[in-house]
Structure 1
Amino acid sequence: MKERAPGESRVALTPETAKKFAALGATVAIEQGAGLGASITDDAYREAGAEVGTSADVISGADIVLGVQAPDPTQLTGAKPGVWVAATFDPFRNGELVAAYAAAGLEALSMEFMPRITRAQSMDVLSSQSNLAGYKAVLTAANTYGRAFPMMMTAAGTVQAAKVFVMGVGVAGLQAIATAKRLGAQVSATDVRSATKEQIQSLGAKPIFVENVAGIEGEGSGGYATEMSEEYQKAQAELVSAHIAKQDIVITTALIPGRPAPRLISDGQIASMKPGSVIFDLAVAQGGNVEGSVPDQTVEKHGVKIVGYANTANHLAADASALFARNLYNFLSAFWDKETGRPVLDEEIGDAVRLTKDNKVVNSRLAD
């Protein structure tokens, strides 16, 4: 389907994956104009063997509907009972949408709930999109910053390398570190998970960690961060405050599944930074890591520019679509049953991603 969410340019099917689905024996159809935001023409889909038609044509015969952001059930009028919809649902924040899918008899498959296990790595849309988001965050910060990134030695004198501090070392944070290093910056990073120290060092950056608060590892289920104790939060705030005042650019990436983004930078810490510094808040759409950040706006406080996109990966729509579409193909093709001509999900992954079935909300994470 063509994406209906405001400003969404990505698409869940590319000519590459359309051809692969057809090779499995599937009939592939896509709504006309669905790929234009990602620079993919209808003719490119036709050449790949896909049918191009209206929304009603595409939905009426579908057993599986692919999307980037899950469509409202009203946009699926005419779909078969029990049709699968594989997309991102943001289930913790969109409970009403999930309930509407259950009421409509649709089977919602949430790609955000893909388990972080080895065999599901190629299906993980959060990782593929976060990778691009971390890259784009650094490029945007560099463009907003009014000075050069690398050290430059000239006849007129030396330009010092920009100091970049990355807060949160998940997929986006690691890519942000790597990108800032490639641009020649002096990079440091921190995370609540002590296991990320080696990852930071492996990219040539300096780890900034609380060393004297024992017994707090910060590792939650599935490799995600979890909330810290008050003691750790206080120690971390003191360490970060001292370090952040010396930085030119800060990239914040911290998220906790099912909860608002943790506040990492206060107004007082912003005030301690040098005028002309830049903060990119990758978590701005989930409430923000930075006090005063606003989605899709550049906010200036105390001479510091605070930037953040509601949908960062969307600013690299062509590549983001290619990776997202491959994630979906890898997911569905891994369970493809030749006899029935469709996927048959197993319990480990199927139960993890399935939100609704038989007019009920069935996912245990939502029940909890």
Structure 2
Amino acid sequence: MIVSVLKEAAEEPRVAAIPETVKKLAAKGLTLQVEHGAGERAGFSDAAYEEAGAKMVDRETAISSGDMLLGVQGPDPSQLKGAKKGAYLIGALSPATHPERIGGYAGLGLEALAMEWMPRITRAQSMDILSSQSNLAGYKAVVDAAATYERAFPMMMTAAGTVSPAKVFVMGVGVAGLQAIATAKRLGAQVSATDVRSATKEQIKSLGAKPIFVENVEGIEGEGQGGYAGETSEEYKKAQAELVSGHIAKQDIVITTALIPGRPAPRLISDAQLATMKPGSVIIDLAAEAGGNVEGCVAGETTTVHGVKIVGTVQLARDLAGDAAALFSRNIANFILAFMAEEEGESGGDSARFVLPDDDEIVTGIRLTKDGKIVHERLSG
């Protein structure tokens, strides 16, 4: 079986396999070929891939001969003409934001596997690209906040007086939020955090931050499926808004991370609440691409509203391309290796092949197309 690693578009510096994972896959009997220059922007040279056992090829060869096509972002179907029918396309295929591409993959006869729809179950933790990339995004959000905020983060005792620590408030305590808390604490900030999921309160405390939670309100429905936050009751939303309004007025930096899969990002901060914040405060909105948690946020831009800088982040993990590519490629390799089945070859020796059982929870979670049809229940309706 031939595995082709594709070079990404100009705006995407990450790559779906690094020399380390090339070695791991080759050790299982897979033949690896990498499109020329695929890893350069993430710091991985063609020579390093060749040393790891991969063959460097042009794009046409990579697509036409690959039994597996690995990518970070899902390519436009027009770029995959000539691909083998039945070949696997594996990567972050954006079925929610680019549904038109999925029909194109089906039309080409590809079996499209969207890694961002990986079920959040114990068995799949090492394959979860959203968690690995969110971890880096949470870290980078704080670094960007420190660069944008025009004051120091830690308390400083000087002969000229004391510099007070920055007050950082993290809204949404998933993978990105937890890393943001930890990073802000390392930089010396005074950190607080909130989430609709009550179970996160102890996690916040364990990182040395102050939990800010609505208490004694009925109708909380925040314990969403798969480790994500869900919708909350109207009573809770009202109480949360009042609590946040009083708290963010005292904050220097706010980092919002709240997302609900398949839906627009929940609105956490309104224009009226922005008006209560101190001029020069900074908000990093990690949900900008899904509509933003903050009113007035524009994806990919920094806007100033009521004297508050709102940074609409887009794919923050890209800014840490080397580490992001390493984690992403390990997620991909872990997935492939988990479904490699040993079998006896015709000559009597053992070989391995890639097998995706139709009744496997991981397979049904990420498989979008098969045999020329769209098969995922979230898309087939």
Q: TM-score range by the shorter chain?
A: over 0.9
CA contact (8 A) 1:2 1:35 kept: no
Give matches, 1:120-269, under 5 Å. 120-269=124-273
Instruction: Report what 2:348 is aligned to.
Output: none
- Give 1:320 shift: 0.2
Which whole-Å CA distance do the structure 2 matches of 1:39 and 1:101 have between them? 30
Q: Which one-letter code corresponds to 1:306 in the other structure?
A: I
Q: Which one-letter code corresponds to 1:159 in the other structure?
A: V
- Give 1:358 shift: 1.0
Instruction: Report what 1:351 is aligned to.
Output: 364
Q: C-alpha deviations, 1:109-166, integer Å up to 9, x for none?
A: 0101111111110000000000000000000001100111111111211111100000
CA contact (8 A) 1:3 1:71 kept: no
Instruction: Report what 1:281 is aligned to.
Output: 285
CA contact (8 A) 1:3 1:69 kept: no
Instruction: Report what 2:114 is aligned to.
Output: 110
State the Cα RMSD in Å. 1.2
Deviates more, 1:251-260 or 1:268-277: 268-277
Which whole-Å CA distance do the structure 2 matches of 1:119 and 1:362 have between them? 23
TM-score by length of 1: 0.97
Which whole-Å CA distance do the structure 2 matches of 1:112 and 1:38 have between them? 21
Instruction: Report what 1:297 is aligned to.
Output: 301
Q: Which one-letter code corresponds to 2:363 in the other structure?
A: G
CA contact (8 A) 1:188 1:208 kept: yes
Which whole-Å CA distance do the structure 1 matches of 2:66 and 2:363 have between them? 20
CA contact (8 A) 1:252 1:282 kept: yes
- Give 1:214 shift: 2.0
Give the secondary-structure state (helix, strand or coil) at the position aligned to 1:67: strand
Deviates more, 1:24-33 or 1:332-341: 332-341
Which whole-Å CA distance do the structure 2 matches of 1:342 and 1:294 have between them? 46
Deviates more, 1:256-265 or 1:127-136: 256-265
TM-score by length of 2: 0.94
Deviates more, 1:247-256 or 1:307-316: 307-316
CA contact (8 A) 1:194 1:217 kept: no
- Give 1:217 shift: 4.1
Q: Which one-letter code corresponds to 2:308 in the other structure?
A: V
Displacement over 3 Å in runs of 4+: 1-6
Instruction: Report what 1:48 is aligned to.
Output: 52
Q: C-alpha deviations, 1:27-57, integer Å up to 9, x for none?
A: 0001001111101111111111101110011
2:345 is aligned with 1:341: no
Q: How many residues align?
A: 368
Instruction: Report what 1:322 is aligned to.
Output: 326
Q: C-alpha deviations, 1:283-313, integer Å up to 9, x for none?
A: 1111111111122221111111111222111
Q: Which one-letter code corresponds to 1:362 in the other structure?
A: V
Identity, in percent, stands at 68
Structure 2: where are the runs of 5+ without partners? 344-350
Structure 1: where are the runs of 5+ without partners? none
Deviates more, 1:241-250 or 1:213-222: 213-222
